[in-house]
Homo-oligomer: A and B are copies of this chain.
Amino acid sequence: MSLLVIGSLAFDDVETPFAKQQNILAGSGTFISISAGFFAENIQLVGVVGEDFGEKNLNLYRERGIDISGVQVVAGGKTFRWSGRYHYDMNSRDTLDTQLNVLADFNPVIPHAYQQAKFVCLGNIDPVLQKSVLGQISRPKLVVCDTMNFWIEGKPKELQETLALVDALIINDSEARQLSKDPNLIKSARIIRAMGPKILIIKKGEHGALLFTDSGIFSAPAYPLETVFDPTGAGDCFAGGFIGYLAKAGEVNDQTLRRAVLYGSTMASFCVEKFGVERLLDLTPLEVGDRFQSFLDLSKIDD
């Protein structure tokens, strides 16, 4: 089924304790759509870039079957840029520079052809823009929303308005504690689900992820990684694998949601192996299947 993705398209400069690279093709819209493309067809991307983004980069989406007729190219504009440095533990990072550029005045316009999308992924951008997207489309089967501490702190009221309209929210454990104002993740989940999203995924990094639905709790293991090369985009790849699998399955129920969490975890585990989308670009469906099986094996108990 058709999948509408909205998110940032960016160039990142990333520095880790082990390597650094500049002008990395990145942004939540990029990671989500490419990750989802391993599962879903008819992916429709909405975003904005500057003239510096270039045809070569735009072709990268087109070649993967991603519809970019919803991506605005601002003449004379510059693409959003982010620059950051990861600490030794790879769990924390400093933002060195943020240049919003064309993202500063971004007003997402959903093309007519996109308005009937059955699955919608609101990548991590201003909750006001996320809400504006929902105002322009027919009621989809599933709306998944991603956000971050920046919006929880900076636009709490606007975020609440968006959360009231979405079916599923994906956040990490520290964001869940911040949003709910409760240190216990089980209580946090109850509080956040009361804000709107009946489906809640809390990502816990090296400790896996928790899925909360009306059917109960699912605990997903983490892939046992000894080294992380670049964590940037892992959360977006999770969201892409999650909603991409659901769009392919066409059904949203406890069993497809559980599998979707494992496919999201699978995509995130590949993302961190190289800079940006590099690993996703050379990834094969066979590798995805093998790693998904590894996730199943990690918590398998024979009957």
Residues of A within 8 A of B (CB): 89, 183-187, 204, 206-208, 216-222, 224-227, 255, 258-259, 262, 296-302
Chain B contacts for A297, CB-based, 8 A: 216
Considering the chains assembled together, what is the distance between the CA atoms of A292 and B194 in angstroms?
Answer: 29
Chain B contacts for A258, CB-based, 8 A: 300-301
Q: CB distance A299 to B226 under 8 Å? A: no
Chain B contacts for A262, CB-based, 8 A: 301
A–B pairs, 13, beta carbons within 8 Å: A184-B226, A185-B206, A186-B224, A186-B226, A204-B207, A207-B207, A207-B208, A208-B208, A219-B222, A255-B301, A255-B302, A258-B300, A299-B299
Chain B contacts for A218, CB-based, 8 A: 298-299
Chain B contacts for A206, CB-based, 8 A: 185
If A207-B207, A207-B208 touch, whether A226 touches B187 (CB-CB below 8 Å) is: yes
Least CB distance, A270 to chain B, in whole angstroms: 17
Q: CB distance B298 to A217 under 8 Å? A: yes
Chain B contacts for A186, CB-based, 8 A: 224-226
Q: CB distance B259 to A298 under 8 Å? A: no
